[in-house]
Chains A and B, each alone.
Chain A
């Protein structure tokens, strides 16, 4: 897709709140956008390294919790009578904390999980997210457990003519998510086109061969995992400060599956795949709302996954690209 068209698309999205200031539409697009950022980050692992990472929601959830806790502050005992206390921090620090914490765990998981491949890798990543969910549920002193972290402050940014203000309005949050999505997209594009990206694609195509020509496979896989986790953490932070409530359900497997569906249907290993898939499946729940029960949405998601993998395994974007001149 050429750059002119891409920037036109971004400009159109940016102009949307000015043309259609419908709060419902903006809310739907904002939450779709957050998931698209998640899908973009997952694509780096799933699409470019070819590793089916099914614990991706772990990084999203870690980002959400890290950011929420940094901005709310906490006071917890860590045994032996010692306490760790953090005063509430500004939201931008929470955002950075989300990226750092998620990226750190990405490194840890990468070091552990990339020792194995295939089914083993998949299961280790799922378990990782599951353990985090259990911790979020049970470490009540830190996370409030099922009572959830509430009253999370909204993002605050410098806004033209108003100084630094908290972003309560739908259109402000929409632009913020759009901006982060564009940054995430550009970052992934840079990575994919760099030496790292070529190494990843080489090892996806043939790992023993890549190894034999001297590519440090695990090293590059861990880099990809850290970047991917960091971006997912940023998405989690956006989610925390947009929805302003975080509970252990952010670690549910179903959200990983949602991101996987977005990447797979859009086209894994293509830059635009997660964006296209994310728009389709991010907007679908709201198109169905009112006409079908909530279960129907997941049944359609599941059926779409099956049908795409069976009949259009490379996804929408490559299929369209072949049709266009």
Chain B
């Protein structure tokens, strides 16, 4: 029981960052109909920028996190402007191919710039775990959870309360009608992609200090982001949040009770199962899938 409680806590911490990743990806798909293969690379980019801020420039840890997120947004906006804007009329498969090409360039650019050796980001948190009853958690991970939760909340407020949020929701439902109502779709797309990329970069910046930073760190994470999004239903924002936590719990519990080695495989098996049984996901968005 105690062990289960510990897994529950770990799963929540993991799930928070997964939710950030999933929301960014599903938002881009929902609004722009783009399957964003660069998502994992933006995650790695966020982690590297945090490393650069803390270790190379000697900046404050929290400032580096914020800067990394902003730079991620800027990179996302430029990808949208450079690659996606000219491809707006193209079919979904062609856009996917372009994004795979972009991911390849980004990942190997990172490899070139930083070398293949994994890097460690120093953080100001104490290395001793907080112990509450039977459960222990590292302060850094707690910080990660709190910031993820704050970002999730901020994102919901942005979507729910602001003009750009309303424009995004309108485009999500029907781009053509939104355009007729005076929504500037081009702007919405750039903003969407920037926000989605910013969320990925934030997740990378947050998890970078927890794990190591390496050029290929985006690979698995990018695929996991797909898993989360599929789990919740492609294009569904509540689905991605639930999917993020669900994947966190599945990995944590299956890793703890079934097999540690196959920990990462459970997520993918889950996707294949979900797609075979319930392809619309847990919380389906309105969309044709078959």
Residues in chain A within 8 A of chain B (CB atoms): 50, 52, 54, 112-113, 115-120, 122-124, 126-128, 130-131, 134-135, 137-138, 253-254, 257, 260, 264, 293, 295-296, 298-299, 301-306, 309-310, 313
A-facing residues in B240-290 (Cβ within 8 Å): 259, 261-262, 264-265, 268-269, 271-272, 275-276, 279, 289-290
Known contacts A118-B92, A254-B104; 9 additional CB pairs below 8 A are A116-B275, A120-B230, A126-B223, A128-B268, A130-B265, A134-B264, A295-B108, A302-B104, A309-B101
Look across to chain B and name the residue whose beta carbon is closest to the beta carbon of A126.
B223
Q: How far is the CB of A129 from chain B (nearest CB, A)?
A: 9
Docked-complex contact A299 and B105, CB < 8 angstroms: yes
Docked-complex contact A123 and B230, CB < 8 angstroms: yes
**Residues of B contacting A304 in the complex (Cβ-Cβ under 8 angstroms):** 101
Q: How far is the CB of A299 from chain B (nearest CB, A)?
A: 5
* A-B residue pairs, 7 tightest by C-beta: A302-B104, A305-B101, A134-B265, A302-B105, A306-B101, A138-B261, A295-B108
> CA of A127 to CA of B269 in the docked complex: distance in angstroms?
8
> CA of A302 to CA of B261 in the docked complex: distance in angstroms?
32
Q: List 18 A-B contacts (CB under 8 A).
A: A50-B93, A52-B97, A112-B275, A113-B275, A118-B92, A119-B234, A120-B275, A123-B271, A126-B223, A293-B112, A295-B108, A295-B109, A295-B111, A302-B101, A302-B103, A303-B101, A306-B83, A310-B86
Choose one: B87, B97, B227; the contact of A264 (CB below 8 Å).
Answer: B97
* A306-B265 contact, Cβ under 8 Å, with A120-B275, A295-B111: no
Docked-complex contact B226 and A305, CB < 8 angstroms: no
Q: How far is the CB of A110 from chain B (nearest CB, A)?
A: 12
**Residues of A contacting B107 in the complex (Cβ-Cβ under 8 angstroms):** 298
Most interface-central of B35, B102, B104 (chain A CB within 10 A): B104
**Residues of B contacting A298 in the complex (Cβ-Cβ under 8 angstroms):** 104-105, 107-108
A-facing residues in B81-138 (Cβ within 8 Å): 83, 86-87, 90, 92-94, 96-98, 100-105, 107-109, 111-112
Choose one: A116, A122, A299; the contact of B112 (CB below 8 Å).
Answer: A299
Q: How far is the CB of B270 from chain A (nearest CB, A)?
A: 9
Docked-complex contact A303 and B105, CB < 8 angstroms: yes
> CA of A246 to CA of B269 in the docked complex: distance in angstroms?
24
What 1/0 flags go to B140-179 for Cβ under 8 Å of A?
A: 0000000000000000000000000000000000000000
Docked-complex contact B100 and A305, CB < 8 angstroms: yes
Q: How large is the interface on B (under 10, 10 to 19, 20 to 34, 35 or more residues)?
A: 35 or more
**Residues of A contacting B83 in the complex (Cβ-Cβ under 8 angstroms):** 306, 310
Docked-complex contact A305 and B97, CB < 8 angstroms: yes
Look across to chain B and name the residue whose beta carbon is closest to the beta carbon of A113.
B275
**Residues of A contacting B105 in the complex (Cβ-Cβ under 8 angstroms):** 298-299, 302-303, 306
Docked-complex contact A122 and B269, CB < 8 angstroms: no
> CA of A299 to CA of B104 in the docked complex: distance in angstroms?
6
Most interface-central of B101, B111, B223, B275 (chain A CB within 10 A): B101
Docked-complex contact A52 and B276, CB < 8 angstroms: no
Docked-complex contact B290 and A116, CB < 8 angstroms: yes
**Residues of B contacting A116 in the complex (Cβ-Cβ under 8 angstroms):** 275, 279, 289-290
Choose one: A135, A254, A305; the contact of B265 (CB below 8 Å).
Answer: A135
> CA of A298 to CA of B215 in the docked complex: distance in angstroms?
13
Docked-complex contact B234 and A120, CB < 8 angstroms: yes
Docked-complex contact A306 and B226, CB < 8 angstroms: no
Docked-complex contact A131 and B272, CB < 8 angstroms: yes
A-facing residues in B28-74 (Cβ within 8 Å): 29, 35
**Residues of B contacting A137 in the complex (Cβ-Cβ under 8 angstroms):** 261
Q: How far is the CB of A258 from chain B (nearest CB, A)?
A: 10
* A131-B269 contact, Cβ under 8 Å, with A119-B234, A299-B108, A310-B86: yes
Look across to chain B and name the residue whose beta carbon is closest to the beta carbon of A311.
B86
> CA of A187 to CA of B96 in the docked complex: distance in angstroms?
29
Docked-complex contact A127 and B279, CB < 8 angstroms: no
* A115-B275 contact, Cβ under 8 Å, with A130-B223, A130-B268: yes
> CA of A229 to CA of B262 in the docked complex: distance in angstroms?
25
> CA of A253 to CA of B44 in the docked complex: distance in angstroms?
17
Docked-complex contact B289 and A120, CB < 8 angstroms: yes
> CA of A126 to CA of B39 in the docked complex: distance in angstroms?
15
**Residues of B contacting A127 in the complex (Cβ-Cβ under 8 angstroms):** 223, 226-227, 268, 271-272
Q: How far is the CB of A264 from chain B (nearest CB, A)?
A: 6
Q: How far is the CB of A14 from chain B (nearest CB, A)?
A: 34
